[in-house]
A and B are shown apart, each in its own frame.
Chain A
Amino acid sequence: MKKINFRVKMIGVMVVILAVFLSFGFLMKNTINKAEKTESNLYNGSIVLSHQMSQLNSSLLLKVQIPLQQFRTQGKITASSGYQLRTAMKDIRNQLLNIRNERTYTPQEQALLSNMAANLDDMFGKAENIINFKGDITKKQDHLQWQKLYDIFDQTVQKFQENASAFTLLKVNNDKQLITNIKAYFSRIHRINNTVLIIGFLLILFLSVTFIIDITRKYKMVIKYLVHLSKGDLTEDIPEIAHDEMGWILRHVRLLQDSLRKITIEVNTAVNNMSIASHDLSASSQNIAQGSSEQASSVEEISSSVEQLASNIHQVADNAKATEKVVVQLSKTTSLMVEAARKSQEKMDAIAEKIGIISEIAFQTNILALNAAVEAARAGEHGRGFGVVAVEVGKLAERSKKASSEIEGLIHESVSVIEDAGKIMLEVAPEVDKTSDMVKSISAASIEQKLGADQINDAVQQFNEVAQQNAAASEEIATSAEELSAQADRLMDSQSFFKLKEEDMVNNIPGNTAPIVKKKIPQSVSTGNKNNPGKGVDIDLEKPDDLDEGYERF
């Protein structure tokens, strides 16, 4: 019973119904056939027969008796009328023969009918006698004969009539009997039909009710589990009921439930993760927002600093320009100084030359004085005074030599100093030029720096804008993250629509699908205090608190 599916059952019920109807129809058809047959029998046997009998009687009356009675009164029978009479009698005999032959009769009726035929023959014999009567009715004897013939004829007619009425009566009685029989038959048929109908109806009712009860039971079961599913209740396991369609539906409902469980678990995990992540994101983005605002203020500070820097650079550029002028002046002055040093060296050289002359003169004088002294000494006592003079001259020469050599030394020193100065100046001159160039390049560089500082300033402004945008964006992100968190909570609320079994909540989540990273969160979220020992105790213990706060907050 369990393995038969609804289609087969339905077909079975249909077959039963069909069989019932067919049998009923067959019965009905039979009955109707029978009724028709009976009716036609009745019609043939009763109505047609009576009609024929009456026709027979009437034709007997009209064509035989009445002409005969006319003949009786007339007293003679013409040949033609005799022929007519015979023909009529033949017809009547044929009619009776037809009546007899057309249908079957009971033996009683048969006897009556044969009586009737015999009577008719007798009657027609008598009629023949009448027709064949050749006497004269005017004559008393003949008339009596005539009358006697007629009386005999009337007697036969009487007999025939008696038999005919007896037959008719018998026929009526028979028909009555037949009708009674038919009635009984029909009532029997009716009973049978009723029985068949009742039995079929009961069978159909039983089958249908059983079927409906079966369907209803399974249907209710399916509806129950579907209602559970629709209420999100995934706790109850759906049993295997049967192998029929409802069982199939239920099996698929169970598959759906399994899928929903899996999905719910995964979605729960994901939602928890998302919630945590969105909280983190919210916090991070708030941090970022704060950082961005700080950055923005820092950038503003940088901007002001850069502006100050730009103005400083501008000042530096101005100073560099001024310095450049000064350095150019210095360069000119330096060349002038070099020139002056050269000139003074020339002068010194000239002085040295002159001093050389003096020195030479002193040298010569010294020699002269020496020679004079020598001569004076050689001259002896006479040359003494001259010798003294000579020595004095020598001393003068010595002094002037000394002085000139001192001057010479001084000049040499001066010359060397001037030379050094000149050298230094010459050395300095290119340095000064270089300095000038450098100052020029500093000036140019400071202008470029100014531009650069302006660009930096612009960039910093842009940066500032970006930082403010960042701040705004991160605040938006924070709001979005909060919204996301709210959405996650809402999703979690929505997801809590699906109720899972305890073991599903506890065991299934870390089991097959969720990776290790996700493990902690569902554990910590779903079970709260049932933490896996030895895995990130601090974090796991703290996280639910955060989440709880988050839940309270939202």
Chain B
Amino acid sequence: MEKEAVETVERKQHYILFYLAGEIFAINVKYVLRVLEATTFTKIPKGPSFLKGVVNFNGSVLPVVDTYLKLGMPAKKDFRKSLILVLNITAEEKNVNLGILVDDSDDVFEVKDSDIKPYPATGSKYKVEYVDGVIERKGNFILILNPQKLFATEAGTEIGNNILLDKENQTEQDDQTE
């Protein structure tokens, strides 16, 4: 979506930084609607495997995607300090709100487009089409994910609004170890 057409010599875009299993990722802020505490999220016992649960977002039920499963990372169980990034992505001509679980997020920063380097096509961990590019920030390489492509399948799946918030599911959250 190109609603900002302000073209300077160098276009700067805002990215939100987040952490997943020790890796640092960034997503363009334009997809991000809100950052939520993961404590509000409710698990769905018999949902699809990628669907971790649902969260109440402004009165509507928002599906939460298991990012770790999606990115082939070890499953996480403690979501107390985790955050949920509420994304707004377009999938199959539909505007869909979607929550993704992240470990943490602490920064929103501007990046020049020229600073974004292409993600190497071969020998890489993730599929190239999911990654817009790589930037270097404070000595760390940060993958800029493309949520539209990454969560296209999840966004396409219908999720019934009839799923009730079940408070007992909150007991599924395990004790912290640290």
> Is A367 within 8 A of B35, CB to CB?
yes
Instruction: Report the minimal beta-carbon distance from A404 to chain B, rounded to whole angstroms.
Output: 12
**A378 close to B (CB within 8 Å):** yes
**B6 close to A (CB within 8 Å):** yes
> Is A370 within 8 A of B4, CB to CB?
no
Question: When each residue 64-94 of chain B gets 1 if its CB lies under 8 Å from chain A and 0 otherwise, what string results?
Answer: 0000000000000000010100000000000
Question: When each residue 142-171 of chain B gets 1 if its CB lies under 8 Å from chain A and 0 otherwise, what string results?
Answer: 000000000000000000000000000000
**A466 close to B (CB within 8 Å):** no
Q: Which of A111-119, A387-395, A472-480 contacts B (4 or more CB under 8 A)?
A: A387-395
Q: Which of B41-49, B103-111, B129-137 contacts A (4 or more CB under 8 A)?
A: B103-111
CA distance A390 to B14 in the complex (A): 13
> Is A373 within 8 A of B16, CB to CB?
yes
Q: Which of B26-34, B53-61, B112-120 contacts A (4 or more CB under 8 A)?
A: B26-34
> Is A370 within 8 A of B16, CB to CB?
yes
**A107 close to B (CB within 8 Å):** no
CA distance A367 to B108 in the complex (A): 11
**A166 contacts across to B, CB distance below 8 A:** none
> Is A366 within 8 A of B106, CB to CB?
yes
**A373 contacts across to B, CB distance below 8 A:** 14, 16, 29, 107-108
Question: When each residue 122-133 of chain B gets 1 if its CB lies under 8 Å from chain A and 0 otherwise, what string results?
Answer: 000000000000
Tally A-B pairs: CB < 8 A. Answer: 53
From B34, B81, B107, B109, give the contact of A363 (CB < 8 A).
B81
**A380 close to B (CB within 8 Å):** yes
Instruction: Report the minimal beta-carbon distance from B119 to chain A, rounded to whole angstroms.
Output: 23
Candidate in B16, B32, B109 with the most chain A CB atoms within 10 angstroms? B32
Q: Given A380-B6, A394-B107, A367 and B83 touching (CB < 8 A)? A: yes
CA distance A513 to B22 in the complex (A): 115
> Is A363 within 8 A of B108, CB to CB?
no
CA distance A472 to B93 in the complex (A): 129
**B36 close to A (CB within 8 Å):** yes
Nearest to A408 among chain B residues (CB) is B178
Question: When each residue 350-384 of chain A gets 1 if its CB lies under 8 Å from chain B and 0 otherwise, what string results?
Answer: 00000000000001101100110110111011000
> Is B106 within 8 A of A378, CB to CB?
no
**A122 close to B (CB within 8 Å):** no
Instruction: Report the minimal beta-carbon distance from B30 to chain A, rounded to whole angstroms.
Output: 7
11 of the cross-chain contacts (CB-CB < 8 Å) are: A363-B37, A366-B105, A367-B36, A370-B16, A373-B108, A374-B34, A374-B108, A377-B108, A378-B29, A378-B30, A391-B108
Q: Which 7 A-B residue pairs are closest in the complex by CB-CB distance?
A: A377-B14, A373-B108, A377-B29, A370-B35, A374-B32, A371-B35, A367-B35
Chain B interface residues (CB < 8 Å from chain A): 4, 6, 14, 16, 29-30, 32-37, 81, 83, 105-109
Q: Could you list 4 further interchain pairs (A-B, Cβ under 8 angstroms) beyond the known A366-B105, A370-B35? A: A374-B34, A377-B108, A380-B4, A391-B107
